[in-house]
Amino acid sequence: MIIPILLVIAGFCALIFGANWMVDGASALAKKYNVSDLVIGLTIVAFGTSAPELVVNSIASVNGYSDIVLGNIIGSNNFNLFIILGLSGVILPIKVQSSTAWKEIPISLAVAVLSLLLLNDFVFTGNSQSGRIDGLIMLVLFCLFIFYVFKQMKTDPQAVASTEVHKSSLKIWGLIIFGLAGLILGGQLVVDNSVSIANTLGVSKKIIGLTIVAAGTSLPELVTSIVAASKKNSDIAIGNVIGSNIFNILLILSISSLISPIDYNPKFNLDLYILIGGTVFLLLSMLTGERKKLDRWEAAVLFGFYIIYTGYLVMKEI
């Protein structure tokens, strides 16, 4: 029992270091194109910090651990929204650009609703699962989202030339390669040993996915957004969270589904309702009071709610 726990911790450490190296390398590449912080947050940083979920879910999908796949994606999105954005907003109220309030957050909401419909087969009849057709639909939508972001990049008035001394190409690619290696190793350790712990304790894979795995793979987002908030870089903080939530469903769930159809447990519906409700709350926060701003008390509501809900999930298993 002790060894699997230590290996899970080692896996999380590998995921964190791997994600940080990958983000550093990818961000250095992005700087060469002088893109804005929001675009970097929505794309490079979001992908880099979502990479642990991608690796963990790909491994879990190959092994047929559907509850780990779904628990990790839905749990990570809720963790991103409630815990990461909540903590970041408590540290410093988050002000956003108009496009974030009117476009990116509504896109994130639409993606969450779509996942609820697809997973419950309201779109296609058949068994409750995320099949290859669902995966293909989400992958196409992901490509459209990336097209939208890069189209925004061309017209972004806040894109400015970087005065940073660029890293050498060797160092950039070294960071990316070693980061990817850390993600693969860490992902394998987390999945295998989380399942082992769940079996030993008699805890369902659903709870393991929603809590331990989701929180662990979301640590890169947590560190990135808190550091960004402390440096008063709201665009990176919220772009990272919103971008990661869109990536997790449209890219990671689609790839997991294409690898192997994911059997859906309807018990996840409550967690999806919470994700949708939290995104609606975030949208309303941006459109009411001081517009385009998440105040400290609103961030505290997000954070406090999810702490209580996580405690409820754990108590149900005891």
Q: Where along the chain do its domains lie? A: 37-53+66-156+203-317
Q: Which fold has domain 37-53+66-156+203-317?
A: A middle domain of Talin 1 (1.20.1420)
pLDDT at 42: 75
Lowest mean pLDDT among 69-73, 268-272, 314-318: 314-318
CB 41 within 8 A of CB 236: yes
Say how far apart CA 249 and CA 257 lie, in whole Å: 11
pLDDT at 160: 47
Q: What is the mean pLDDT of residues 300-305?
A: 95
Answer whether residue 36 shows pLDDT above 90. Answer: no
Average pLDDT, the chain: 81
pLDDT at 142: 92
Answer whether residue 32 shows pLDDT above 80. Answer: no
Q: What is the mean pLDDT of residues 92-108?
A: 80
227's enclosing H/E stretch is helix 219-230
Task: Provide the residue type at 103 as one letter.
Answer: K
Lowest mean pLDDT among 29-38, 117-126, 158-167, 240-249: 158-167
pLDDT at 275: 95
- The CA distances from residue 263 to 131, 210, 233, in Å, are 8, 16, 40
pLDDT at 163: 46
The pLDDT confidence band at residue 161, using thresholds 50, 70 and 90, is very low
Task: Provide the residue type at 312 as one letter.
Answer: Y
